[in-house]
Amino acid sequence: GESKSLREIAVESRALGEKARAGNLKLEDVTGGTFTITNLGMFGIDAFTPILNPGETGILGVGRIVEKPAVYRGEIAKRAMLWLSLTFDHRMLDGAPAAQFLQSVIELFNSAA
């Protein structure tokens, strides 16, 4: 199958977002994928259960970002927090690799902070 780097995915995602905002998005631009990222944070939603699209292996739901007190480096600090909800097709993927994927996403968020 086709494999893309995170950078390639980010560039393509940004281009698709621009097409969507301009009203130029076509059905073929958003079908045929194996994974979806969906965000309901802009509607004030913290957490939700995203439903798999037909033919896809997984979908990652991203909730709103909220500042909350959290223990950070041994002290209580104000931190930007959000909920991630991963739904995956258990016929395609075991729970452990799915959890490792989600752990990698969390590490990327933490390294960007």
Measured CA to CA, the distance from residue 63 to residue 96 in angstroms comes to 23
Task: Determine whether 29 is an active site residue.
Answer: no
Measured CA to CA, the distance from residue 103 to residue 3 in angstroms comes to 20
Tokens of 22: 């301009």
Q: Which of 78, 24, 27, 83 is nearest to 50 (CA)?
A: 83
Candidate list 29, 46, 89, 94, residue with the active-site label: 94
Candidate list 29, 46, 89, 90, residue with the active-site label: 90
Catalytic residues: 90, 94
